[in-house]
Structure 1
Amino acid sequence: MVVNLTSGTPAQARARAAWAAERGIDLLAGAIMSPSPSIGTPAALVLYSGSQSLYEKWADTLATLGGTARYLGEDPGRAAAFDIALLDMFWQSVSGIVHGLALARAEGITGAELAPYGQAMTSLLPGMVAGFAAQLDKGEFPGTTSTIASAEASLDHITETTEGHGIDARALHVGLDLVRRAIDAGHGADGLARLADVLSSTGS
């Protein structure tokens, strides 16, 4: 049995599974969701997808990687899909952190001065992940806390200040364009989770 824990796209994982099946190779797809030093420790988290019977047969062996193992389903691309979506959240969050620090520095604010407030603000994100996910699954986007229309003014101010300091504002323009598309589609009074719909081809 082969377990593929290398990173890749969901499509690549499915193609590998098809290739292996054609050659009679037992292949289980996986994704390591914790830092490399965590492997073999209780902090490890590994996601698996593919044949459930194969996963169950080798579960004790896989447990030697440590920590938590999660089986996600028969689709061999599912573990990679989780990996890609979670890394998308992570890297775009990192982009926001470094951009905010660069903007603060341009305004004469040190990293040490900004950090406590940045930590307080980003502490809102875990709750937003859970809340947005529930709204997206239900297809309901109440604007009781914050609306897409209100986000436009905020992004405008950030973009103007960023460009005034000669800092790269391309990512902000992407966000501003997304917000304006949502408003043009009549979603200005909706909550921010609606933007996930607007990003996709089904958004209207």
Structure 2
Amino acid sequence: MTDNTAPAAPASPTPVTLLGTGAMGTALARAWLAAGHPLTVWNRTPARTAPLAAEGAAVAAGAGDAVAASRLVVVCLLDDASVGEALDGADLSGRDLVNLTTGTPGQGRARAAWATSRGARYLDGGILAVPPMIGDAESGAHVLYSGSRAVFEEHRATLAVPAGTRYVGEDPGFAALHDVALLSAMYGMFAGVAHAFALIRREDVAPKDFAPLLVSWLSAMSPTVHETAERLESGDYTEGVVSHLAMQVAGTTTLLRTAEEQGVSAKLLTPYLDLMARRVADGHGDEDGAGLIDLLVRAARA
């Protein structure tokens, strides 16, 4: 991986073409305009480019015209199909195409092959931010990039204007893979948070009082991420285990009974609890939770 370590600014701001001026595209555009980059924009609904035109962006009549305006072409559209439709017929030869449209690893790889066959160099990206975070150096916004390392290194300073950058590999599907993996972990956390608040919802417990306890507990548990990574790389799921699966599974009845008493559905918990029970039934009760990952992978391949 390559971190964003304050790349040196180019002698003069690089011209940028941006296809797509929805909420995220507009935030990206404003960041580049504020940094002095000549910017050409296009959107399927032309009226959405008007605010950016008023701020100094050039508006292209068509996507092909926009592509022709700059060597660096950034795409931020609804989905992969929209990218194909917008660029159909555009001359991509000699262009550096940076695709920030949300997609899957497979779509990233296919789009890279598609772009390369049309004479472009390709970089795929996954945005780890919401629009208000873009352009704010203190927000923690990041974009994950994969594909052509040469494109990333050449345009790194320009790409770092809206958000921090992290290069995750030559495989053009890796940006989307990392993006979705991180988002999946986020939603898993959201599910646990939702269940926790549901348990106290009907009691005389103020959510604002409970929230600091919840944040503190989740923060205390976060180092287990590193422990899991080490176990996956070593292949040893039992050494130094403090709370093994058999012990945890024995305690799940309390979780489920409490949910029932509180009138709360346990459907956000039961898929994970069921995996734990299955792993124990398979003879791995002395492990921690790392083995559940292998169980998930095998289930997906079955």
TM over 0.5: yes
Match of 1:23 among 118, 124, 127: 118
Match of 2:260 among 152, 163, 178: 163
Which residue identity does 1:9 align to in structure 2? T
CA drift at 1:191: 1.3
Greater shift in the superposed pair: 122-131 or 165-174: 165-174
Partners of 1:14 and 1:164 in 2: CA distance: 49
Task: Indicate conservation of the 8 Å contact 2:245/2:276, yes or no.
Answer: yes
SS at match of 1:64: coil
SS at match of 1:171: coil
Match of 1:152 among 240, 244, 249: 249
Partners of 2:221 and 2:125 in 1: CA distance: 27
CA drift at 1:94: 0.7
Which residue identity does 1:112 align to in structure 2? K
RMSD of aligned residue pairs (Cα, Å): 2.0
Which residue identity does 2:214 align to in structure 1? G
Which residue identity does 1:175 align to in structure 2? Y
Partners of 1:45 and 1:88 in 2: CA distance: 17
Which residue identity does 1:2 align to in structure 2? L
Equivalent position of 2:66 in the other structure: none
Equivalent position of 2:18 in the other structure: none
Partners of 1:179 and 1:173 in 2: CA distance: 10
1:105-120, aligned counterparts within 5 Å?
105-120=201-216
Counterpart check, 1:173 vs 2:292: no
Equivalent position of 1:36 in the other structure: 131
Equivalent position of 1:90 in the other structure: 186
Task: Indicate conservation of the 8 Å contact 2:126/2:144, yes or no.
Answer: yes
Runs of 5+ consecutive residues of structure 1 not aligned to the other structure:
none
Counterpart check, 1:6 vs 2:96: no
Which residue identity does 2:296 align to in structure 1? L
CA drift at 1:60: 2.5
Equivalent position of 2:90 in the other structure: none
Gap change, CA 1:6 and 1:125, over 3 Å in 2: farther
CA drift at 1:59: 1.8
Query: What are the Cα deviations for residues 79-106 of structure 1, in whole angstroms up to 9, with x where unaligned?
Result: 1111011001111101100111101224
Runs of 5+ consecutive residues of structure 2 not aligned to the other structure:
1-95
Equivalent position of 2:74 in the other structure: none
Equivalent position of 2:292 in the other structure: 195
Counterpart check, 1:63 vs 2:160: yes
**Which protein is bigger by CA-based radius of gyration?**
2
CA drift at 1:107: 4.5
Counterpart check, 1:184 vs 2:281: yes
Which residue identity does 1:133 align to in structure 2? A
TM-score normalized with structure 2 length: 0.62
SS at match of 1:17: helix
Which residue identity does 1:169 align to in structure 2? A
Partners of 2:159 and 2:272 in 1: CA distance: 41
Query: What are the Cα deviations for residues 22-65 of structure 1, in whole angstroms up to 9, with x where unaligned?
Result: 22232210111233222223233111100111222222321222
The percent of aligned pairs where both chains have the same amino acid is: 40
Partners of 1:154 and 1:101 in 2: CA distance: 20
Task: Indicate conservation of the 8 Å contact 1:156/1:176, yes or no.
Answer: no
Task: Indicate conservation of the 8 Å contact 2:195/2:268, yes or no.
Answer: no
Partners of 2:219 and 2:167 in 1: CA distance: 29
Task: Indicate conservation of the 8 Å contact 2:126/2:176, yes or no.
Answer: yes
Task: Indicate conservation of the 8 Å contact 2:108/2:173, yes or no.
Answer: yes
